[in-house]
A and B are shown apart, each in its own frame.
Chain A
Amino acid sequence: MLRAFGAAALVGATILVAGCGGSSSSGESESQTAAGISTAPPPTPTACETKGGTLKILSAGDVDHIDPGQGYYSFTYEITRPTQRALLSAKPGTVELQPDLAAGMPQVSKDGKTVTVKIRQGVHFSPPVNREVTSADVKYAIERGFATSVANGYAAAYFGVIQGAPKTAPQFPEPISGIETPDPSTLVFHLTQPEAVFVTALSMPLTAPVPEDYAKQYDDQTLSTYGLHQVASGPYMIKSNAAGSINGVGYKPNRLIDLVRNPNWDSSTDYRLACADEVRFEEGFQDPTVVAKTILSGSADANGDIPPPPAELRSILSSSTESKELFFTPTGGARYIALNTTEPPFDNANARKAVAYVLDRNALRLTRGGAVDGTIATHFIDPSFGDKGFEQAGGTGFNPFPSPDFSGDVTKAKELMKAAGYADGMYTGPQVTVVADNVPPGSDTAKVVAADLAKIGIKSRIISVTHATMYTKYCNVPKNEPNICPNVGWLPDFHEPQAILDVPFNGKNIIPSNNSNWPLLNDPAINAAMDRAEKTLDPSKRYEQWGKIDQQVTETASAIPWLWEDYPTLFSSRVVPALMVDNEGAPDVDFMSVR
């Protein structure tokens, strides 16, 4: 276990792995890891080692949407961050927010219902727009997020609290009365009620400026094509032709995203270094082993969305000659086993708790890699949240379903099965349904779950489908919800505990399709506590409240967390490495430079 977290409460800690990995077979995981892996934050470059050159990032898939107002995926943010300036963004190497397009941190009124943001002067759009960015561009960017032509995935969740925000999505962007622009450098948000995470949400890419005069023609189509004609405000832009189109120029879907310098960018307005002249995101690499080897050979510089597989990590870490520029970053998210609380047998809390006891979380973690893959989770708020909820939830000490070495406690599980009404502690009902991935590591996780359930007599029928089908056809659809969804997990949008617990566990968020409350948990006490915490502006009180909620949710055993996952990022030795610690440790091309 990566013990540094609990003790030091490092916010956004990144673990540098140095020295040799664990030797083979057997032994206790805690000591092995402690001996094999040392932790240290990666140095954030403060100046470019060299200026110029080309960075090459390899990935398997493409961005979800090229439009920065639509993108809602960590790999997409690797491209959004260097090209688009949101109002706020994370300080390099941390998860703490700092002003980006904003000139200073937003001012919140005493009643929490008015938020004022000053916009930085001297920031210009890339060609063909070229003009200076104003507060109206941010206003339009948020307004377009509500339109069905843009269909942003989080606008309603975080910005629906703005006065006059549409309740039902209009087809095309419409003005929102609660966003005022008294002058070109001032933006005022009027909210219908205090919203604890509103300021934090101003770091989402939706707040990056979009020039209405230029973008309107593209947004007024059934599906906006602004993404293919986007203009940049950051140091880089996606390569475009004279008319501003990136389609087939700097953006070739599933093949290439090519970033070049934005000629209108002024480094004095930005915290970004932007050392390289060009950044190529090359896509379509399906074999993680090949990607790792290509990076090690220096033919590419970092992995984009395709992490090195455990075997490759082992060979890198046990080799004395190969590059050690391998970093592990907490994703901030937890993987968990969701139990359907609306149907037998898991509508019974004792039956759920029996499962929580019987699961071998150590074996579960081993299906995705061992200790190198993260910390065994005992509740939901990730250690990287530190004093923003993790400590308040009891840190690593809070573990309501303990067992030696996390390997499961069958005796205790049987006691709970008895309490659930099964005579000798063994389940006697019909088979339970499990919908799982059809490929490793997800399929292996399901196998471990099935083997553990068998220890308390629960026979499971595993339905194997692709990861996407698992969500879209089964686990996201309450009426098709199986008894167990073993391959689910939730990544927070930002480092606020609300972003971890609210959507996946608040009863009000259960929807007929695209549902993310997988256990279908609808506990009035928990719902009420969450609604209260959402409106608590005082951070220390709020984190206290979410810490309690985390404990309450965990104790229902409606979802059993087993991994606070770390994400490995490998860099070639020809570049100075830099990470987006707030974005699962993705390569931060703004700060990388060619050696």
Chain B
Amino acid sequence: MKFTDFLTKDCCVMDLKAETKEDAIRELAGVMASRGLITDTDDFIKHIFEREHLGSTGIGNHVAIPHCPTRSVKDLAIGFGRSSRGIDFSAVDGKEVNYIFLMGTHPEHLGLYLKFLAGLSRLLADHAFYSEFSGVGSPEELIAVFSKYEK
């Protein structure tokens, strides 16, 4: 299984309308729910917010990866959102967040989910990948960059 088997273009929002962390999560979760990835949106958002209360998932370098395991997700769900204006996520480096990966998994897929989270954070720390990733203009380009670096 590859990351791009789960990151689909119809769950990529290239211009988030939200201006706050909470609204951005709600906006992305709504898109993922409309594509059938989430069965109970309110419960999913509740779990994501509970995780955020433990500490920000703003990992630095303008990226946040809010995530949680919950039975409100069918299998493994990934949504991507980009905010050109930037969102305050209380990130570890204090910078505003422009790129959000919202991830959830059914507990049955915990192993794969952990592997994807680790793989994503590894890719985002790769300067060559980040440079291409931050320059994409469309969901198709975004998926193409991930596909390229999965090879």
A binds B: no
Chain A residues packing against B (C-beta within 8 Å): none
